[in-house]
Amino acid sequence: MSQAMRLGALGLLPYHALTLEELEEATNNFEPSNLMGKGSQGQLYKGWFSDGSVVVVRCLKLKQRHALKILKQQMEVISKLRHRHLVSILGHCYVTYEESPNATDTIFLIFEYVSNGTLRSHLTEWRKQEMLKWSQRLAAATGIARGIQFLHTRIVPGVLRNNFNIKNILLDENLTAKISDYKLPRPFINKITKVGSESPFNGAAWRSGQLERGLAEGPKKLRGETDPSIRGTFAYESLKTAVEITINCLSEDIGQRPSIEDVLWNLQYSAQVQDGWANSENLGTHS
């Protein structure tokens, strides 16, 4: 963990425990207008500290009395993670009710605020002036891979077996991708979901088949599978490289899936090809 910590705090506040009063002040007593969303992972509030920093406060209800001890152990590790492509956890506040064994304990987790929304919104909402270019999409994918690599290899034990979702990838003001949910403690969930029809690999099988057919039938077919907003703005070889590594990642045979280092190498190569193509386009030479 010391090696991870030496990477620097990225200009963020050091991790520390906060009081409920501090959070009430930051969120204006959890004013409804500061509510950013709610769901199975708790309510999210936007907050402002006195030093001007903006944060997100997640409120979780702990349904099991022993959950707080487990959560504290996990937070010992997660609190120290700092990486450019991870949304950092900045602090916590525990609210316990020792006098009432049937009461529900509450924990507040404080995260850095990432200002530019989700990667999904930039890919699916048709605001053409904000739609991500191919090079920006590659940069986001590469950033996500770097974040995963850090979680897998730069700390001991590694943080593995995450179910990453495009809705949990956020973009900052510079369009830097950040993973917002990486094995967060979930002791408040009563049941463990078994791998089945909800597996991301099962859900992507149909799409993977489409991409494989696109590769097999030639450039025109694969180009036709792309987002219309970026057609004609990318090098085919760059797209082909990214698609090939994606298909390999979705292989049903775990042994055939590439390492995260292989994923990174291919994404970086794809970006280099794209840069070369873009430069040749700017110079008026087509390839």
**Cα–Cα distance measured from residue 86 to residue 170, given in angstroms and rounded to the nearest whole number:** 9
The alpha carbon dihedral of 121, 122, 126, 127 has a sign of positive
Give residue 70's pLDDT.
73
Report the run of H or E that residue 210 belongs to, with start and end. Answer: helix 205-217
Tell me the one-letter amino acid at 258.
Answer: P
Give the residue among 185, 183, 27 at the shortest CA–CA distance from 113.
27
The neighbour count for residue 164, using CB atoms within 10 Å, is 15
**Cα–Cα distance measured from residue 249 to residue 24, given in angstroms and rounded to the nearest whole number:** 44
**Cα–Cα distance measured from residue 143 to residue 150, given in angstroms and rounded to the nearest whole number:** 11
For 256, phi then psi, to 5°, come to -90, -10
* β-pair type (16-17, 169-171): unpaired
Give residue 29's pLDDT.
94
**Cα–Cα distance measured from residue 286 to residue 200, given in angstroms and rounded to the nearest whole number:** 38
Query: Domain 2-112, what fold?
Result: Phosphorylase Kinase; domain 1 (3.30.200)
Domain borders along the chain are 2-112, 193-276
Examine residue 185 and say whether the peptide bond preceding it is cis (omega within 30 degrees of 0).
Answer: no
Q: What is the pLDDT along the chain (287 residues), one digit of tens a residue?
A: 444 444 445 667 678 889 999 999 999 999 999 999 886 667 899 999 988 889 999 998 876 666 667 777 777 777 878 889 999 889 989 887 666 556 667 889 999 999 998 898 888 876 655 789 999 999 999 999 999 898 888 766 666 666 678 888 999 999 999 998 776 544 443 333 333 334 444 456 656 677 777 777 788 888 888 888 888 899 999 999 999 999 998 888 888 889 999 999 999 999 999 999 999 877 765 54
Give residue 188's pLDDT.
40
Give residue 187's pLDDT.
44
Give the residue among 119, 64, 112 at the shortest CA–CA distance from 88.
112
To the question of pTM greater than 0.85 for the whole model, the response is: no
**Cα–Cα distance measured from residue 57 to residue 259, given in angstroms and rounded to the nearest whole number:** 34
The neighbour count for residue 87, using CB atoms within 10 Å, is 22
Give residue 214's pLDDT.
72
**Cα–Cα distance measured from residue 116 to residue 199, given in angstroms and rounded to the nearest whole number:** 28
Cβ neighbours for 6, distance < 8 A, ≥ 6 positions apart: none
Total residues belonging to the chain:
287
Give residue 242's pLDDT.
94
> 14-21: which pairs have CB atoms within 8 A and are 24 or more residues apart?
15/79, 15/80, 15/89, 15/90, 15/91, 16/90, 16/91, 17/91, 17/92, 17/93, 17/94, 18/91, 18/92, 18/93, 18/108, 18/110, 19/93, 20/93, 20/95, 20/108
